[in-house]
Amino acid sequence: MNFSSVDPTLKDWASRNRMPMATQYQDADVRSFELVGPDGRAQIWVEVSTDITVHVWDYRKRKQVFAVDSSTLANGLDDALRVAKTWCGTP
């Protein structure tokens, strides 16, 4: 996956939301964020191919996917973060 087209948006979003962004996992390029709260934890990650997809899951069974484009990526991340905060019990 080539993240160069979305990295500026991801870095800006991560900075605004004070969310560290993981960029490597098992020798693969990734873009993911983790939220931990009193009710559990959740991961948000972005996939880029012909489309851009934002995923959120609770490391168990709950998952949600947001199809976005480069102009709506930040909004999709905001939506995923709202879901993650609900699952994790964080304000």
Distance CA 55, CA 80 (A): 7
34: number of Cβ within 10 Å: 16
Q: How many residues are recorded in the chain?
A: 91
CB 30 within 8 A of CB 22: yes
pTM of the model: 0.94
Q: Residue 31: give the domain boundaries.
A: 7-88
Q: What is the tally of structural domains in the chain?
A: 1
Q: Establish if 2 belongs to a structural domain.
A: no
In DSSP terms, 43 is beta-bridged to 34, 57
Contact 33, 19 (CB under 8 A): yes
Q: Quick check: is 1 in a domain?
A: no
| Contact of 71 with 84, CB cutoff 8 Å | no
- Tens digit of each residue's pLDDT (9 = 90 or more) over 23-67: 999 999 999 999 999 999 999 999 999 899 999 999 999 999 999
Q: Is residue 68 part of a domain?
A: yes
